[in-house]
Structure 1
Amino acid sequence: MRNPPPDVALPRRRRLRIEVGTLIAGLVAAQAAMLGLLGYWGAGRLLHGVAREAHLEEHVRLETEIRAYLASATGAVRALAQAPKHRGERGADERNAELARALVAQSAALDALYFVDADGNTIGVGRESGAAPRPIQDRAAKPGRIDLRAQDWMREAAASASPVWSEPHVLAYSAGRGVSFAAPADGADAHGTREGMAVGEVSFGHLHALVESFSHAGAGDSAVVDAQGKVIARSDEPASKGAADILDEVLALAAAHPLDAPLLDHASQAYLVRATPIAGTPWRLVSWLPEEAVVGGLRRGLVAAAMVLALTLIAALALSLWLSRRITGPVEVLARVARRIGRLEFDNLPRVDSSVEEILRLEQALDESAISLKAFRKFVPADVVSELVKQGRPLAPGGRLAEVTAMFTDIEGFTGISASVPPGVLVPQLTEYFNAAAGVILAHGGTIDKYIGDGMMILWGAPVAQEDAPVRACRAALALCDALDELNAQWTARGLRALRTRIGIHTGPAVVGLLGSSERLAFTAFGDTINVASRIEGANKEFGTRVLASGHTVAALGNGFVTRPIGEAQLRGHGGRWALFEVVASS
């Protein structure tokens, strides 16, 4: 693959493990966040709805009880007002008193029930603290008596000819303060004047007992107020002087939102507020209930559920990271294997530990590639392929001019040896020689271009440029001679024939590159430098030497070698004369 030009920006790369882990974790986190937000929103609305329903139920219950309680009182008063012939007949007072006694006995709401005639005389019954009814008989001429006919609520009832509830006042025939209900009597005298007024008294004690029953759980309060906001009865204690009274805030909020009051924030606590008129009276029932008292347990359960959800999310994220590691870990190992195969490094390749079938198939495919390329490496110099791939050069026919040092080797008298030694003996012996030679060449940075029968063509300076190519070549030549001497000693001990190699070295320009067809290529070098190196190797036979090098090569060695000048010689098959030197040893 070609390397991109240096001015072209490469796309940003990311690790697969990060991408997979981020994807899985992101999906899990997004889903959990969405579910959490929807759950929190829905649970909040549900809890608020539950609290409102509980508050409404308790408020309606109390309102119903108050209405029933007051209805028993107003019914008794109306019954007394509708009784016929309140005066003008003998025994009328006794009959009115007896009727009042019976009505009071049936209505627990009344503390007193009496009739006030047009002259201000009063006849009826009263009671205190659940005691038996006592008779009320009060004449208008009685000293110190309060004339009920002068009360505003009595006047209003007489003027409107309809029942009226009074404002809170000191009760006339009951202990303490309360309210009175006045109903004009049916019928009139000859002058069209009403005969009188039936009045029932309801003390605050009864109403307090009702509003205090607002919440059976002991939370929340209620109050009954009149049209001007004056308190008739309330279940809690009023705030101390100078402090904010919650009832004032409740009334203000209910006035601003008569249909659906929002939550009231008082003393860092949220209250549900409700206000409704009490039918048949000029009063309103208001109630306020801490939302926490109703749904606190549910809210704490919601928090616990949120914590469980958070822990579940953390566990899911950990699981996603583990899964991504299980997936990407083997992929990273296989990526390293692929890179090593690309560098033609096939020894001790790591194995993957995975149960994913696709990953196992990929590992098998890489194993097969490694086996094929390992066999291919025996035919193609690995360093040549690696360098071409590293340089990004296309694997197509082509060449370039480069300064190289070429070496040719040849076994002396091999033609006769091959004719006299059986192949089963000669081939293993020759293989030992080439193994030793290849080790020496590679150790000195050379590239074995090709094997030519019993000889070799070796290059320095290609495919990778080497400034000390002549030095490397001459050291390799001397090391090859030493290695062959050791092999000869072993072969002689085993009864095999000793071999002697001849080496020729020359330095100069040559065309190097991939040559061949589009289907099959070979890395090689050609040119006059290559031909001269081959001819110098053949000159060893004429001069009886083992290692011959051209003057061009020796000139680049410096003082690191011991050489013996041979003189100028005419090379066979090549025009011109060449200065030759025997490379004896390295100094």
Structure 2
Amino acid sequence: MVANHFFDGNCFSCQSPNMKLSFWRRRKLRTAITSLFLAIKLGALLSMAFYIFHANKQLVVQFAGRVMTEIQRDTSTYILTLFDGMKKLAEIEQAFVLKQSDVSVENDALVRYMFEAIKSIPDLTIIHVGSPNGSLIALFSLLNAANPQHGDGPLPESYKYALLFVDRFTEVPTETWYYLDKDGRRAGKWVAPAVTYDPRTRPWFEEVIKTKKQYWTQVNTFPIPEKEGITFATPLFDSNGSMIAIAGADIELTFLSKFLLKKETTPNGKLMVITKKGQIVSSSMPEAADLSLLGDSTPVFNTAYQSYSGTGNSFPIFTVSGTEYLTIVAPLGFQEWLLAIAIPANDVLGGVFRIQNSIYLFIFVIMIISTVLVTIFARRISAPITRLSKMIDRIRDLHLDNKIPTTSRIREIFEMQSAISAMQTAFVSFKRYVPTEIVRSLLSRGKAIELGGERKMLTIFFSDVYNFTSIVEGITIEELTPQLAAYFDAISRIILEHQGTIDKYIGDAVMGFWGAPLEVKDHPFIACDTALLVQETVNKLNSAWEKEKKSPLKTRIGLHTGTAIVGNIGTEERMNYTIMGDSVNLTARLENANKIYHTDILVSRDTYDLVHERYLMRPIDIIKVKGKEKAVEVYELFSLKTNAPQEKTELCTLFEEAYRLFHDNKIDQAREKFMKLRKKFPEDVPTGLYLERCKI
């Protein structure tokens, strides 16, 4: 029945008259966008095609050939020089590692060398030394890192380098991060709760261990940081020829992309480094993803590569999508990498064709017009979608009180608004059956409700109405219902406003708890504040009801802090988010015990131990709870100590003195103090109960 209510087709009745546009005036979003795009694109291409009838191929080929050959030579020299520097830096580490234990942050000479090495090559990402047992010292450059993080959050701007030390020479391996400033001085430290990195799993480590030779990896993804790059590794030996460590250096592919972007070709020239198998290593094109294969997303380079692979032609000329390209594909001299350069033929004709400036001006005008038109239409399309997005955000946060009206001539937007209105109606109904915190938690995780629970430390709240059965017998249901609704509303509102979760209503009882599903700091204190405020609020309600000649609903409350099972309990078809366990039973027993001692709020010793310094409380008794071998001491909660009446403070002090004497089996002394209490506080029921016990 609930599901039928949530998804009833009548929810479309919430549509406003302005939304009820006739069918013929609506058109599909896809049709509107496609028509606009094709019209602008076709107009631009037809205009550009009118001008592109120029040729002087020999001049273009000679000029472009010289430019691209020079770029190829410069790029190859840069890469080989950089990688040779990486290799030498790693090899020099041999001078600082003479035994396995030298792989340590205590090796100041090694750390200083690593710092000077990584500082000397700005494009170097990591320099590291690892021992065969898995210990590692690695220095990371943070100079080019965006918003660097560590275990405790963002790093200060003064941290320019990170020194990782994985120590497996100790009985318990550790992972420690040291953060260095621009001069190599240690400015911070963070010890990881567990070791997360093991160099022995990396391909360069495994290969050097196996071959005892220097090794260059293929392009791979670094675990720290998670970026693509290549690694050089070399074995280090002691004086006896035994391998004691593996030194290496890592460099990200981003260095090559930055270099290619800076390399001057022509206004529209593009560069790309690819492997012999056609995998993209780096590119000056943002749309070309590193480590992907050449394909439809890179048609120019894909055609040049296929020509080079099939015919060996390193300088092919061809046309793609109506544009003629001059290309070069040549080896870089490293890892069988190839450098591919593509330049539109039109880019190198500036001094040859006198109408070049006219073409650029014409294209510019067309693009300006296109931009204006696209902006106007995009704004008209996106405005209602933006409003719908805000509406969805409010629904996601369970703010369901307001509606954002949206009208559009596009059918998909119109239907989206109708669906969102229906969803909002469903959530309004859903909140009445499931606690708001649970719904919000489910929405944030994006997961369906599943059966299961966990043990958590909670503070549990039980309340019920004193002598409720007699009250019900004395009034009609028509009189009781609004009064009981006001009573439940007051208690529930206070619990929810104090970050509590309402578990269920059991007849006249209310059951709630703190600490789940959301973590609540200092929940024992919050629960005590809630109980005191509930009593104050209910007392005000009772005063008003007595003036109206209605029966008061006196409230009794029990509080306990302890471990309970909390989660979704039930069946796959029907479940409740609830709590179970001895702590729940104890709280219920505490609430029920109020009628014995004529108290309003009883708390367990567990709760008392956590909060007694802030609240005025007194011990009441030691009771036996079913299911527990050990008896439980209970306390009465009066108020905060800061605003406690002097009379209540004196009662608590004198009562506790007598109470302790009684439980220390000093009956005569206890009887004497309880008798003095009776004279001063004749209406205190617990004092009378203990006087009766003293007679036994």
What is the TM-score of this pair, normalised by structure 1? 0.49
Scaled by the length of structure 2, what TM-score is found?
Answer: 0.42
Point out which structure has higher relative CO (alpha carbons under 8 A, 6+ apart).
1
Rg: which structure is higher?
A: 1
